[in-house]
Amino acid sequence: MIPVIALVGRPNVGKSTLFNRLTRTRDALVADFPGLTRDRKYGRAELEGHEFIVIDTGGIDGTEEGVETRMAGQSLLAIEEADIVFFMVDGRSGLIPADKGIAQHLRNRKKATYLLVNKTDGVDPDSAIADFYSLGLGEIHAIAASHGRGIIQLIERVMAPFITIEKPESALTEEQLNASYWLEQEKQHHEEEPEDDFNPQDLPIKLAIVGRPNVGKSTLTNRILGEERVVVYDMPGTTRDSIYIPMVRGEREYVLIDTAGVRKRGKVTETVEKFSVIKTLKAIEDSNVVLLVIDARDGISDQDLSLLGFILNSGRSLVIVVNKWDGMKPEDRNQLKDMLNLRLGFIDFARVHFISALRGSGVGDLFTSVQEAYDCSTKRVNTSLLTRIMQMAEEEHQPPLVRGRRVKLKYAHAGGYNPPIVVIHGNQVAELTDTYKRYLMNYFRRSLKVMGTPIRIQFKEGDNPFAGKRNSLTPNQMRKRKRLQSHLKKK
């Protein structure tokens, strides 16, 4: 499971700055759910190969009578949801009573807590952190969130317990840019592709139903389970965990990841669903296919786009479900379709279904798209086919020139599945424009007939290993050279 980090502390100690630094707000999606998670922001971050979710809890009052209310109102829930707590203080203003009050509450929670003294740029770090040892939270980390100082070392330290040992991917050596070597590597990739017995169809499809509150997630979940008349296994975990419900449909096994809090059929009577952002994000990460449920009568909201961003960022297969379609006037339906095309036009790979979870219309068709998306995301493709598709793309549209030299694409192979990853090796591939990268991605999608799942292209390159180097002769070649030289001298 992806770790969750909560940022807590007084106002203006730099939590939002650190949040933006970790999530790289321009690239990663930052979700703000007003009214549901008041004063809290959620973001998905990736730093130095570590992936995690960050929660910015807003400022905590810190007064004796105010802390409990504020903690219970927003930050306490975030702390309970988190695996790690970053308690931030201001190194320039020093230790104040509010910091002591917050530290006391954190000690009582017995949560993995790291004390971060921010704004230590331009001051002596040792002097800045000295007073904070009295908080009794162990080791102190001096950082400067605005400049990024100390952030990478901190994340490396914090993420160490969550690292899983994986077989390292073979890196490119310098010799890989020799022309004959590229051909040999392509052949070797093709010959060494595993002939294992693994079949994705033997595994159940993990299906997450996500969406804003009151879009019909509970109704859709109950409709699916009610139609199948399966036994619902109630496997509650902690407050941040979803419920995993095994089910069978058409001889195909599924695991329904329930984020709406539905325990048993017919037991949901609340009109307002309990919404947990962390529960939803974790369900997305753990799923194979995501059903994003949208309320037809509300249209596409910013919260819908926020959830969509998380799904795309996670690389999960996607089916868009427009619920409450029944009863809408024809002109309203046409207006909604225009809005979908306008705001979701960039999602050209996802099927869109218009359903009524309450009446059951269109629900059965969802599983056709779910199966299609899963099959596409787990389909095995060999090196020779991927390389041929890459060559066809080059023939139709050559890569651009970089400083007078044409970018050369050598060969392609599969780099992973769910989502499908195509790795392209070549020269100067780092110089490819985003436009050409999108062209390659779309070309592979059309050629492989990938639907329902995003496809990712990765590029690998190296430098010419023989540039500026002299050939070295073997001892036998050296002796032969001397004989030739002596023979020429005699003439």
pLDDT of residue 491: 58
In the predicted model, is pLDDT for residue 442 greater than 50?
yes
Instruction: Look at 230 and 76; give whichever has higher pLDDT.
Output: 76
Task: Write down the pLDDT at residue 171.
Answer: 43
Residue of 207, 204, 450, 232 whose CA lies nearest to 321: 207
Ligand-binding site membership of 202 (annotated)? no
Measured between alpha carbons, how far is 128 from 189 in angstroms, rounded to an integer?
55
- Residue 258 annotated as lining a ligand binding site: yes
Q: Does 257 have pLDDT greater than 50? A: yes
pLDDT of residue 213: 81
| Residue 362, marked binder | no
Local confidence band at 261 (pLDDT 50, 70, 90 cut-offs)? very low
Please tell me whether 211 is known to bind a ligand: yes
State the residue for tokens 């100082």.
149
The confidence score (pLDDT) of residue 5 equals: 93
Q: What is the CATH number of domain 200-378?
A: 3.40.50.300
Is 260 annotated in some ligand binding site? Answer: yes
Q: What is the pLDDT of residues 169-205, one digit of tens each?
A: 444 444 444 445 555 555 555 554 544 555 777 789 9
Chain-centroid distance, C-alpha 30: 12
Mean pLDDT check: name the lowest of 227-236, 268-277, 317-326, 473-482. 227-236
Kindly report which listed range (181-190, 241-250, 353-362, 384-393) carries the lowest average pLDDT score.
Answer: 181-190
* Phi and psi torsions of 74, nearest 5°: -140, -55
pLDDT tens figures, 268-287:
444 344 456 777 888 888 89
The answer to whether the annotation marks 480 as part of a ligand binding site is no
Provide the token pair at 248: 């069978």
For 95-141, write each residue's pLDDT tens digit: 988 888 888 888 888 789 999 999 988 778 788 888 899 998 888 99
Is there a binding annotation on residue 182? Answer: no
- For residue 320, list its beta bridge partners: 292, 352
Percent of the chain with pLDDT over 90: 32
Q: How confident is the model at residue 101, as a pLDDT?
A: 86
Pick the more confident residue, 112 or 465.
Answer: 112
In the chain, domain spans = 4-162, 200-378, 380-460
Strand stretches in 84-194, DSSP E? 84-90, 113-118, 140-142
Angle (CA) 60 277 36, round 5°: 60
Which helix (H) or strand (E) is 220 found in, with range?
Answer: helix 217-228
The pLDDT of 418-442, averaged and rounded, is 91
Contacts of residue 327, defined as CB under 8 A and 6 or more positions apart, other chains included, come to none
**4-162 and 380-460, same CATH topology:** no
Query: Is 463 marked as binding a ligand?
Result: no
| pLDDT value for 64 | 40
Q: Is 261 annotated as a binding residue?
A: yes
> Was 118 annotated as part of a binding site?
yes
Structure tokens at 450: 């990938």
Task: Tell whether residue 121 is among the known ligand binding residues.
Answer: yes
The response to whether 324 counts as a known ligand-binding position is: yes
Residue 10 labeled ligand binder? yes
| Residue that wins the pLDDT comparison between 190 and 442 | 442
Q: Which of 29-33, 350-354, 432-436 has the lowest mean pLDDT?
A: 29-33
Question: Coil, strand, or helix at residue 291?
Answer: strand
Structure confidence at residue 151 (pLDDT): 93
pLDDT the model gives residue 207: 95
Higher pLDDT pick, 264 / 114: 114
- Here the tokens at position 128 are 């800045």
Q: What percentage of residues in the chain have a pLDDT greater than 70?
A: 75
Residue 9 annotated as binding site: yes
Question: Is 400 among the annotated ligand-binding positions?
Answer: no
Superfamily of domain 380-460: K homology (KH) domain (3.30.300.20)
Q: What is the pTM of this model?
A: 0.68
- What pLDDT does 202 receive? 78
Would you say 214 is a known binding-site residue?
yes
What's the pLDDT score for residue 470? Answer: 55
326 annotated ligand-binding residue: yes
Inter-residue contact 102 to 62 (CB < 8 Å): yes
Asked if residue 32 lies in contact with residue 55, where contact means CB atoms within 8 angstroms, the answer is: no
Closest residue by Cα to residue 290 from 210, 374, 375: 210
| pLDDT tens-digit series, residues 36-52 | 434 567 888 888 888 89
142 is in an annotated binding site: no
123 touches 151 (CB < 8 A): no
Strand partners, 408: 427
Confidence label for 267 from pLDDT (cuts 50, 70 and 90): very low
Distances from the Cα of 239 to the Cαs of 121, 218, 274, 487, in angstroms? 39, 18, 11, 88
Query: What is the CATH architecture assignment of 4-162?
Result: 3-Layer(aba) Sandwich (3.40)
Give me the amino acid identity at 167: K
Q: Which residues of 193-219 are buried (b: 16+ CB within 10 A; e: fewer)?
A: eeeeeeeeeeeebbbbbbbbbebbbbb
Identify whether the C-beta of residue 6 lies closer than 8 Å to the C-beta of residue 55. Answer: yes
332 is in an annotated binding site: no
